[in-house]
Amino acid sequence: PSMELLLFLLANAQMKNLMFICAYRSNEVGVDHPFADIMTKVTESRGEFVAKVDLFSLSQEAISQFVADSIGMEEVDSVKELVEVIYPKTMGNIFCVMQAIEELVRKNALYYDVMCFEWRWTVDKVELANQVGADVVETVKSKIKGLSVNIQNILAVMAYIPFSVDVSVLKELLLTDDALDENEIASLLKEASDEGMLIFLAESGHYVLAHDRIREASRGYLGEKEDHDQLLLHMADVLQRLGKGSKMEWC
């Protein structure tokens, strides 16, 4: 139904003074994908109003400006050494760049000098490069390991749920030694969002994982734990129970 509604709105010639921006990953939308079919029909009916823009990874100059802005440096040249380490390992992917900066901060290679009120790094470029992982998934897993056990458990559960879920359902899905009430879970979700792991959707009032690499890292981290299979079995039992003759909308 949502796809049909989107086609109706986009192809409606009576629709005036309204711009639609649709974003998708080209490697995930093939010619047989429903969205590709929609765009073909819209282009045929209203081609003069349709523009396609291919977005690629950011240039080193753009990343330099981003890094400078992120750590409060006015001059781009002042972060040249930092960017020369970060850019080759991220190739301009902004999510990877953000994770690389956070990793340097976690490892204290990049730190805020409270005496001089500015961000600094005192190690040379070779040492900086050694502190930045080449695999962004491993970098995110390293960040997850630094979070509280309860947040780790929440991320592990959400990594296997394709959609957002209500707090009450999330409570059922969690497999923890200490039972958490809904207020505690809501607080943990907010904390995970502050850490950049989740995004809050105002429309539904639910949280979702902020990036597919976070989903991949959460699954990988769970796979290293002994209770991996036990958690998946527990989740399957809960979802099966919720789906049996229940009118409860769990996702």
pLDDT of 251 higher than 70: no
AA identity, residue 8: F
Place of tokens 């921006």: 21
* Mean pLDDT of the 11-23 span: 84
249 pLDDT above the threshold of 60:
no
Q: How far apart are CA 196 and CA 97, in angstroms?
A: 13
Q: What is the pLDDT of residues 41-80, one digit of tens each?
A: 888 888 888 888 888 888 999 999 999 999 999 899 999 9
- pLDDT at site 183: 92
Q: Give CA–CA dist 218/222, Å, rounded.
A: 6
Distance from the first to the final alpha carbon of the chain: 17
- Which pLDDT score is estimated for 250? 47
The pLDDT tens digits of the residues spanning 157-215 come to 999 887 777 888 888 888 776 778 889 999 999 999 999 899 888 777 889 898 888 99
Q: Are the C-beta atoms of 102 and 90 separated by less than 8 Å?
A: no
d(CA 148, CA 153): 9
DSSP-assigned beta bridge partners for residue 113: 118
Name the 3-class secondary structure at 208. strand
pLDDT at 97: 92
